Structure 1
Amino acid sequence: MNLDFAQIVPYIPFILEGIWATLKFVSVSIVFGFILGILLALCKITKKPLLKWVADAYTSIFRGTPLILQLMIIYFAVPQLTEYDISAFLSAVLAFGLNSAAYVSEIIRGGILAVDKGQTEAAEALGVPYKPMMQNIILPQAFKNILPALMNEFITLTKESALVSTIGYLDIMRRAQIAGAGLFRNFEALLFAGLIYWVIVYVLTQIGKVIERRLRQSD
């Protein structure tokens, strides 16, 4: 086997810089997608048909088309339509955030519906307004039930972040590709990138377990 990992050592700092670039846009995307996902979930359980239809249509579109297609449309089509030269970072945040929101909304909707209806009926009987009821009673209980699913969505988003290399964003994958092309040794560079992704996902998984354990202890 023609392998020589020593040759990628000079490129290791360059590839490691991609960790910050990856985590930066992924974290912003997660926050954006989470907030939008909550709003979509609330629209899906509302009694207003128009809001429900809009939220369902949004979810259908973003779950029914490939993420890389959404990324390409935002990065290449937006400048064509608006003459605004959108950056790779903003394109990545919008594509991943909008896509994640569709999945997060379904997770949160399921969590809300899983809460005992008696909680809602009791709050309404006591005259608790809808907004405080959702914020203080329903959503906290729902989040305890859906935390594993949310963490799985965030982990999946982190792994899929490698797609941004297709638009030239200097994330972990793109930097590994550059290093591999410069050395004509792609296997070593890509394997090192895979190791970095594995470590990130492992750390996120452990963080999720700690949070879940603490939530269970607080019951």
Structure 2
Amino acid sequence: MTLIFGHRGAAGTRPENTMISFKEAIRLGADGIELDVHLSKDHIPVVIHDETLDRTTNGSGFVKDYSADEIVRLDASWKFEEYKEEARIPLLKEVLEWASASAEPFIINIELKNNMIEYSGLEEKVINLVKQFELDERVILSSFNHSSMVLALKTEPRIETALLYTDGIYKPYDYARRAGARAIHPLMRTVKNELIDLSRENSISVRPFTVNDEKEMHMLFEWESDGFFTDYPGKAIEIKKSIK
């Protein structure tokens, strides 16, 4: 079954990486959400994609230079000004608390954004929060920093890890297996049906990103990809229903 993950929530129609975006993706029927995590100045995991505040908030500068209290007060409505009163950067704790209380369980893919800035202790802090809310079986940890995923696996083997990449890797299923990962999350343009078949034979899940094109969605459903990430989960769900 091909699972649909709301990329940064429902980022095509709501301010990305905000609670209203995550809630919209789940309301539409997504199987899971994807979010990004950095550490604040006071070492608290906060949910935002970029290393800096400039693109998606009314703040500026690096996330790491602001306290969590300062960050959560910023306007994160970005290009969706109609949500100006609601859109804020959430703490990871806030998202996991909401997810743990949900009537319908869904998957949370947490991308650790430590490929450009090395946040000391990020893996442990995120894992501790996941365990606090007993979400071990519903969380996937992913990163472009593959050494970080090896460390995460050593810290807590029960939580699934996935390796993100944008350029072709030779036999990525073998590479993932050596790193102890259960999945690869490749850029869509690097994905072929053969990759999905060979990964499946090697017990490695394939979940491409970021899939917003309807033809590509149809293709992934046809190839029976394990899942994919999209800014438009509503569109993906409609296509999935039409195929059934």
The TM-score normalised by the length of structure 2 is 0.20
> Greater strand percent: which structure?
2
- Bigger RCO (CA 8 Å, 6+ sep): 1
Structure exhibiting the larger radius of gyration computed from Cα positions: 1
The TM-score normalised by the length of structure 1 is 0.21
